[in-house]
Amino acid sequence: MKSKTFKIKKITCVYEYGFYASLPALLRGCLCVCMVAFLISCATMPQQTYLNNQSLSGISKVAVVASANVPEVWYSSSEKSVWPALLGSALGMALEEGIRSGIDNEHAAKIKEHIDISHIEDKMAQSFIQPLKKGNYFQTIECLTDKNQGDHQLSVAGYDTVIRLSVHKISIRRVSGDYVSLSAHVRGQMEKLMSGEIVWDREEVVTNPEPQTLDYYKENGLKELDAMLEKAGKNLAYDFIYLK
């Protein structure tokens, strides 16, 4: 039985290699790129740490620090490609984007003229804090304007815990024709200052449900981002609310 099993595996490997070798060199290279990109994306997926019944023990005074990065614009030409037909819709579209998309600095500069990073940070923080204040989940929870304070300084100020909210990625990507999709990646992390233990580490990804054109965002800015951040902030706050 072992011998038969070995032969079957060997034949399968030879067949798969023969199929791979029969592909054009460019297509083989593109397949390799896709596989590597997929493996890297899986390896870099953020770890999630959820709250449990012991997570909030000993916590009464919480400092919230919010930060945000400027948006990135990813755009590709609207010319039709043969990749979706050759490789199947999902893989082909991913390959097409990887080959032809890139950061569009020209459009990004126009959009950034409308961006107020401090407003994004404040919107994120307040959307998270308000549901928790309303339910009296902590004795004190407040957003700090000085984001450069270290753990020791926060402890001296009387805080026992710090929650860091980061809008670490705002992206605008082409979805079809002249239309683009706006999305934001928001991460929340809670650290107990005395022990340095990270007891909560979560990411929320929110997307504007209505695609717009780049010209729309260049003229109007990212006004839809407010509603997206409000949703992300409430979703992160629900982790605490549901625990109670």
Q: What is the pLDDT of residue 134?
A: 92
Residue closest to 181 by CA, chosen among 212, 204, 205, 206: 212
Instruction: Calculate the CA dihedral of residues 92, 93, 99, 101 and round it to 10 degrees.
Output: 180
Element (H, E) at 17: helix 2-22
DSSP 196: -
Q: What is the pLDDT of residue 102?
A: 56
Task: Give CA–CA dist 4/172, Å, rounded.
Answer: 54
Q: What is the pLDDT of residue 45?
A: 52
Q: What are the 10-residue block averages of pLDDT along the chain, 244 residues in total? A: 43 43 53 47 65 91 96 63 43 45 67 89 97 93 93 96 97 87 96 96 96 90 95 97 84
Task: Give CA–CA dist 24/87, Å, rounded.
Answer: 13
Q: What is the pLDDT of residue 21?
A: 54
